[in-house]
């Protein structure tokens, strides 16, 4: 499985182990002015990783509703799904509230300086998101 955290400037990517038990940060893709460039890079990475499914973070508002950020993330997830459909890789969204905050806290606790965090926070947030999704048990049903 691959987890994706859609930041404004960067897209964090995480991957699960073969058993669908543990998520790990994998990569960060810089967003480009031309959306097609970063979507192609992300789709190529997903294929290279041999993903059976992609889980995209959906930033719901605190009350659980879909605000502007969630609608934008859903549109991004739909575009990624369109690119991956010919390869048979499904894309789903998952509530990502608190993943970036949790990832930043973990990096701070690990002693990483804030200026060094930027390069890792998006992929760490993707790992937190993917781990939360894996913990629901859904990943064990993907063969």
Strand partners, 11: 6, 29
pLDDT tens track for 80-100: 999 999 999 999 999 887 555
* Cα–Cα separations (whole angstroms), residue 27 to 18, 62, 108, 136, 143: 18, 28, 19, 24, 24
How far apart, in whole angstroms, are the C-alpha atoms of residue 64 and residue 67?
A: 9
Please state, for a pLDDT cut of 90, what percent of the chain lies above it.
53
Residue 56's SS3 state is: strand
pLDDT tens track for 86-137: 999 999 999 887 555 555 556 556 555 555 556 678 888 899 899 989 988 7
Is residue 143's pLDDT more than 50? no
pLDDT score, position 115: 56
pTM comes to 0.82
Query: Which residue ranges form the domains of the chain, and what is each CATH number?
Result: 2-50+68-141 (3.30.420)
pLDDT score, position 35: 87
């Amino acid at each position: 499985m691959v987890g994706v955290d859609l930041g404004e400037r960067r897209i964090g990517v995480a991957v699960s182990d073969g058993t669908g038990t543990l998520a790990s940060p994998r990569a960060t893709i810089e967003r480009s002015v031309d959306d097609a460039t970063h979507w192609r890079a992300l789709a190529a990475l997903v294929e290279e990783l041999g993903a059976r499914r992609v889980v995209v973070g959906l930033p719901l508002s605190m009350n659980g509703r879909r605000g502007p950020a969630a609608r934008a993330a859903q549109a991004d997830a739909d575009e990624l799904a369109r690119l991956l459909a010919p390869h048979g890789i499904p894309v789903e969204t998952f509530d990502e509230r608190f993943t970036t905050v949790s990832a930043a806290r973990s990096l701070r606790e690990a002693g990483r300086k804030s200026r060094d965090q930027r390069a890792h926070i998006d992929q760490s947030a993707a790992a937190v998101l993917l781990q939360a999704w894996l913990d629901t048990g859904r990943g064990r049903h993907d063969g």
